Structure 1
Amino acid sequence: MKIWVDADACPVVIKDIICKAANRTQTTTIFVANHSISIPPSRYISFLQVGQGFDVADNEIVNRLTPGDLVITSDIPFADEVITKGGHALSSRGELFTAENIKPKLNMRDFMESMRSSGIQTGGPTAMSQADRQAFANHLDRKLTQSTK
């Protein structure tokens, strides 16, 4: 299993958790973004810079993804593509997207998008909490443990 990170919007604290876990478990991890990001020196961690444009990083990950790989993203339509291709998707807030929960999440996302486009203020996401960080670290740990069995 490889870890693919949709790094364009990945919070720094989550990036740090991913890097520590990648080194600890010796898991190949690739951060993909359309702008330069810093990553720690490691034989397990790399960075792939893609061109500018809508969903360019997402498309690159989907093209390189193999079944069983883990993708870190909070982009629900992208998570749906990952699951369809046989991968696993985990949000930066520690929510594991599955075949069972992704369609209702897509429907809710589309509903909220239509509310916003009609002028209704829906508010943004809450600030990332310690509980979110812990949930992310726990789910990541479980996925990495499962992949080594």
Structure 2
Amino acid sequence: MTRTLYIDADACPVTREALACARQARVPVVIVGNTTQNLARHIRRSDPRDAEHARGRDAAHPGFWVEVLDVSIGADSADFAIVERLQPDDVVVTQDIGLASMVLGRGAAAIGVRGHIYSRATIDMDLFIRHEEKKVRRAGGRTSGPAAFTDEDRERFSRNLTELLRRARR
């Protein structure tokens, strides 16, 4: 079974970087997002769209191909579409801690858009912090939002995803 990189593309700022890492690692990609987005805009015209075309068309990157999976609009539609297709050793790019938790529970790996590789050892604490912050906001309080996304975040993401895909191939 081939390892696949899934991209939770709803508001994902690193889709292009994830595709570049997958091309280099020769890993197939499924970009998942709701139907209101033009997810295909991230794909090069020369990128193969399925495994059969990847073998014949892209000698430089055999094994790499890209599929776009449009899901309905709705909370967690992309998350559930990813989880139901997920196999152990797949890799998921997401900023959603809940999805990351489900991914880890299925034996796959998850990486955040800032390059944080989620861990089974810390995911419960991540979920707890998210829950506590949500309680504060529901009570009318304020929590600090995420820092501005930087070039350093983008570079850390690419570096860590490259390593994660390389490590996972062994």
Q: TM-score normalized by structure 2?
A: 0.83
After superposition, give the CA deviation of every residue in 1:93-143 in whole Å (9 maximum; x if it has no partner). Answer: 100111001000000000010011111111321111122112111110111
SS of the equivalent of 2:110 reads strand
Structure-to-structure mapping, 1:97-108, within 5 angstroms: 97-108=118-129
Question: Counterpart of 1:66 in structure 2: which amino acid?
Answer: Q
- Tell me the residue number matched to 2:76: 55
**1:70-109 mapped onto 2 (5 Å cutoff):** 70-109=91-130
SS at match of 2:24: helix
Q: Report the number of matched residues.
A: 147
Q: Which runs of 5+ in 1 are unaligned?
A: none
Structure 2 equivalent of residue 39 of structure 1: 42
Report the TM-score when normalising by structure 1.
0.94
Larger Rg computed on CA atoms: 2
After TM superposition, what 4+ stretches of structure 1 lie above 4 angstroms from structure 2? none
Q: Is the 8 A contact 2:91 2:165 kept in 1?
A: no
Matched position secondary structure for 1:92: coil
CA distance in 1, matches of 2:19, 2:91: 14
Question: Is the Cα–Cα contact under 8 Å of residues 39 and 45 in structure 1 kept in the other structure?
Answer: no
The partner residue of 2:161 within 120, 140, 145 is: 140
**What root-mean-square deviation, in Å, do the aligned CA atoms of Structure 1 and Structure 2 show?**
1.1
Percent pairwise identity: 31
